[in-house]
Amino acid sequence: MTTRLLSSFSARPIAVTLMIGVLMSSGAALAQKAYDPGATDTEIKIGNIEAYSGPASAYGIIGKTEEAYFKMINDQGGINGRKINFISYDDAYSPPKTVEQARKLIESDEVLLIFNALGTGPNTAIQKYHNAKKIPQLFVATGASKWDDPKQFPWTMGFQPSYRSEARIFAKYILKEKPDAKVAVFYQNDDFGKDYLAGLKDVFGDKASKLIIAEESYEISEPTIDSHIVKLKATGADVLVDITTPKFAAQAIKKVAELDWKPMHLLTDVSISIGAVMKPAGFDASEGVLSAGYLKDASDSQWANDAGMKKFDAFYEKYMPGANRADLNLSYGYAAAQTMVEVLKRSGDNLTRANIMKQAASLDFAPDTLIPGIKVKTSATDFAPIEQLQMMRFKGGKWEMFGDVISADTGG
């Protein structure tokens, strides 16, 4: 009897220990999953705001490309078993409408984050709102330098190279090729345009007032910018720094050619799409235009055997048949969506907004459509994912790269 009691007593701690072990392991498994609104066991809800209409509607293809990319990911089983629910609204590139759409996405649709919303003005209108609510405003589709400010705005991160950095590279190129240049700056009258102007002056320094002989701005509500180009030609400038969005860039290139004005023409990289800008402007008119880029052009034969571009081609054929392959915005949308997917993969089952930002701030990743040698690289103190560019010239209907990949940090 005593022996039986002892054996019974000694068995109980073992059973209890096993029971506790099972409960603890179950608890650990449960603890591994953490969700904020917009994430569940089966879904990740991502918001987006795009200019499908209005003066910047040429960028609408970016949202459509991202939607198609996420569909491809869902068809492949999703991310860690979860499907992406991509909700994209039109704001017509109007900041008040952006505010309305952001509130709808966050407060009604309850998205986990807003991804790649378009435009400097629109994103400025919602930046404080995002940061007050601690909801990621991730990989915004604008190169304003202010998105790289993790101390002030830890919930906002840019994507493409900053306008100010690109302008510094342009300024260095101008000083090297035309040290006595007479520079006309044509820019959009908002943070986008003013960032470029500031970048040029960063490098020109004390020489800025001598080198820049004209500063001319335009409003996005203007139907045509022809009169501005006529005015700038009359200044006698031999360099034109053209800081315009696609619709106006095409108009500017065309008008410069019509006037038989032949300045060194430097064009912002946001408007270098062959399909959306150079072709409408006319290939002859576009010949010799300069820019700096970081994306592969899907219509350029130099990438025919490139491994990343082959993946893009497979995506394009299946998910975007009929789209204008020559539109560089497809490469951009693909790269942004691929980077978003990378962040979500790294987040695993910890789909909290804080962890999303943590993963976004620790990237060293090369999307398929970025020029070789250029990467998406971030840290907790560096919220500027792409900081490298390569100079290029439009020649014979395509962009030709020249020189080395340049770090926008140092300009060298």
CATH number of the domain encompassing residue 87: 3.40.50.2300
- pLDDT band with cut points at 50, 70 and 90 for residue 300: confident
Mean pLDDT of 6-23: 48
Please check the confidence at residue 30 and state whether its pLDDT lies above 50.
Answer: no
Residue-wise pLDDT for 218-249, tens only, equals 999 999 999 999 999 999 999 999 999 999 99
Beta bridge partners of 113: 46
Mean pLDDT of 127-137: 98
Percentage of the residues of the chain whose pLDDT score is greater than 70: 91
58 in the same domain as 202: no
402 in the same domain as 286: yes
Q: In whole angstroms, give the CA distance from residue 361 to residue 157.
A: 9
Q: In whole angstroms, give the CA distance from residue 309 to residue 50.
A: 25
- pLDDT band with cut points at 50, 70 and 90 for residue 78: very high
Residue 29: inside a domain, yes or no? no
Residue 257: inside a domain, yes or no? yes
Can you give the pLDDT at residue 267? 98
- Residue linked to tokens 């789209």: 323
185 in the same domain as 140: no
Length of the chain: 412
Residue 22: inside a domain, yes or no? no
- Ranges assigned E (strand) in 60-117: 83-90, 113-115
Can you give the pLDDT at residue 405? 83
Q: Identify the sign of the CA torsion 60, 64, 65, 67.
A: positive
273 in the same domain as 183: yes
Mean pLDDT of 148-163: 95
Can you give the pLDDT at residue 4? 42
Mean pLDDT of 70-78: 98
Q: In whole angstroms, give the CA distance from residue 368 to residue 295.
A: 9
Please check the confidence at residue 160 and state whether its pLDDT lies above 70.
Answer: yes
Q: Which amino acid is at 236?
A: G
Q: Considering only 36-45, 46-55, 261-270, 295-304, which range has the smallest mean pLDDT? A: 295-304
CB atoms within 10 A of CB 115: 29
319's tokens: 């998910």
141 in the same domain as 175: no
Q: In whole angstroms, give the CA distance from residue 88 to residue 250.
A: 27
Q: In whole angstroms, give the CA distance from residue 281 to residue 160.
A: 24
CB atoms within 10 A of CB 219: 10
223 in the same domain as 108: no
Please check the confidence at residue 297 and state whether its pLDDT lies above 90.
Answer: no
Residue 67: inside a domain, yes or no? yes
213 in the same domain as 234: yes
Residue 248: inside a domain, yes or no? yes
Range(s) of the domain holding residue 218? 163-293+392-407
Can you give the pLDDT at residue 408? 63
266 in the same domain as 397: yes
173 in the same domain as 79: no
Q: What integer best gives the mean pLDDT of the chain?
A: 91
Higher pLDDT: 122 or 16? It is 122
Q: Which amino acid is at 210?
A: K
Q: What is the CA radius of gyration of the chain?
A: 25
Residue 76: inside a domain, yes or no? yes
Q: Distance of CA 201 to CAs 126, 171, 194, 195, 328, Å?
A: 29, 8, 11, 10, 29
278 in the same domain as 345: no
179's tokens: 């040290």
146 in the same domain as 48: yes
Mean pLDDT of 287-313: 93
Q: CA nearest 377: which of 392, 389, 366, 393? A: 366
- pLDDT band with cut points at 50, 70 and 90 for residue 19: low
Residue 412: inside a domain, yes or no? no
Task: Specify whether the CB–CB gap between 258 and 227 falls below 8 A.
Answer: no
**Overall domain count for the chain:** 2
Q: Considering only 48-52, 157-161, 190-194, 220-224, which range has the smallest mean pLDDT? A: 190-194
311's tokens: 């993946």
pTM above 0.75, yes or no: yes
Q: Considering only 26-35, 84-93, 200-209, 332-341, which range has the smallest mean pLDDT? A: 26-35
Q: Distance of CA 126 to CAs 40, 277, 343, Å?
A: 26, 29, 22
Please check the confidence at residue 152 and state whether its pLDDT lies above 90.
Answer: yes
Q: Is 213 exposed, middle or buried (0-12, 13-18, 19+ CB in 10 A)?
A: middle
Can you give the pLDDT at residue 21? 53
Residue-wise pLDDT for 331-379, tens only, equals 999 999 999 999 999 999 999 999 999 999 999 999 999 999 899 999 9
- Residue linked to tokens 């959306």: 276
Pair type for strands 388-395 and 290-293 = antiparallel
270 in the same domain as 403: yes
Residue 283: inside a domain, yes or no? yes
Taking the chain, what is the end-to-end CA distance rounded to the nearest angstrom?
88
